[in-house]
Amino acid sequence: MRIASITTGSYVNGPGKRNVLHVQGCTIGCPGCFNKHTWPSSGGTDVCERVVVHALIQDSPDGITISGGEPMEQWESVSEVIRLVLTEKPELTVLMFTGWTKEHLERSGHLAEMSQISAVVSGPYVEKLACSEPLRGSSNQEIIFLDGRLDNDSLVLLPIVEVHCDGETATITGFPDKSIRQSLMKEL
Amino acid sequence: MSHMIKCETNMTDRKTLLSALDKLGIPQDAIVCSDTTSETIKLRGYNRQTADAEIIIKRDVYHKGYGDVGFVKNPSGTYSCIVDDMDDVGSLARKAGLTNSPEGSRATFSKSVNQWYSALTAQKALRRQGLSTKIKQQEAKLVVVATG
């Protein structure tokens, strides 16, 4: 599968400590998208699913989060990663972001295949509806709770943004608004 | 989608760099600074060799290595760590409680200073935006977490 990155120990991409997979490749192309570098399917790195699984379960996370890029454009690989992660660590919750709407997920039949996922944040990013709420980039996006292990209450106190300082680089992740984003980019 | 923006970090602010050294537990009395950012002072290396630096961690006060460890501002305006070739700053890294890594003590020390510098800079920027922040120490990195 094609991936952009794996970030370990995140607290902003769902409840608890989470390891986050950003897949590479997205053809939706939402105007104002802040992850444009994850659009080209030729970018990122080609990695086998088992390697991704190994990285996603390291350091005892409470759950994993799948973002992108567009996970539904690699659904076969993504669903295999989820299956393997939950085979190894059934206690983990799985949260996934997709630019597909709930209706699109239902029509394609994929929503019915997501019974092992705890929550899906669905819908494209709409710049004029941008918001700074936990897990949502814009207010049109809908959170679909699926396996009964996460609910709205578990998302209330989530942070807005976090910065991972590795040494020579820093990775900004989460849901900062334009002003927060610009301030961090200017200072770092 | 959640954001995923990776950027290079550079150390440009003397005050934040000094705060980063403080976070690493280097005592104030081991650090000597030039009076202004446009001046330099002499760092003592192995066998009485010297080099120009703006901030110096004195070997005889703190880490007892082969020489002082310093920071100098490059023409591009970013600070870099200077250390005598005879000393891989292992003594300083050990003293500061940094575990040795395969990349060597010098790289470990520089990386740790840079991590704290970036974390403190991010914290400052986020607080200015009205957010509450916490710095969490994870195995190989620092994570600044901000809530509204």
Residue B85 identity: D
Per-residue pLDDT tens listing for chain A (188 residues): 999 999 999 999 999 999 999 999 999 999 989 899 999 999 999 999 999 999 999 999 999 999 999 999 999 999 999 999 999 999 999 999 999 999 999 999 999 999 999 999 999 999 999 887 779 889 999 999 999 999 999 988 899 999 999 888 999 999 888 899 899 999 88
Closest to A183 (Cβ–Cβ): which among B1, B128, B139?
A: B128
Bond before B45 cis per omega within 30 degrees: no
Among candidate residues A188, A173, A87, the one with its CA nearest the CA of residue A135: A173
Q: Which residue of B has its CA nearest to A120?
A: B1
Give the closest residue to B10 by CA, choosing from A185, A180, A183, A163. Answer: A185
DSSP for B43-64? EE-GGG-EEEESEEE-TTTTT-
CA B1 to chain centre: 34
Distances (CA, A) of B109 to A5, A168, B20: 26, 12, 11
Domains in chain A, ordered, with CATH?
A: 2-158 (3.20.20.70)
How far is it, in rounded angstroms, from Cα A164 to Cα A183? 16
pTM of the model: 0.87
- Which residue from A minimizes the CA distance to B122? A184
Residue A80's φ and ψ, nearest 5 degrees, are -70, -40
Q: Is the dihedral of CA A102, A108, A109, A115 positive or negative?
A: negative
Selecting from B1, B142, B146 the residue whose C-beta is nearest the C-beta of A35 gives B1
Question: Nearest residue of A to residue B127 by CA position?
Answer: A180
Interface test with B, best of A7, A138, A162, A168 (most B CBs within 10 A): A162
The Cα-based distances of B77 to A59, B10, B17, B109 in angstroms read: 37, 9, 13, 21
For A107, list phi and psi in degrees, rounded to 5: -60, -35
